[in-house]
Structure 1
Amino acid sequence: MSRTQPRMPRRRLLATVSALAGAASILMLILAGCSGKADGTAKAQSASIPPEVKIPFKIGIMVGTVSQGEDEFRAGQMVVAKYGQDHVKMVTYPDNFMQEQETVISQLVG
Structure 2
Amino acid sequence: MRMTLKYVAEDTDRHGNVRLYYRRNGRKVRLRGPVGSPEFLTDYRRAAARPKESRKKSPPKPGVLRKDSLHWLCAQYYKSTTFAELGAGTQKTRRSILERFCQRKGNGSIDLYDADAPHTC
TM-score w.r.t. length of structure 2: 0.24
- Relative to its length, the structure with more strand (as a share) is 2
TM-score w.r.t. length of structure 1: 0.25
Which fold has the larger relative contact order, with Cα–Cα distance below 8 Å and residues 6 or more apart in sequence?
A: 1
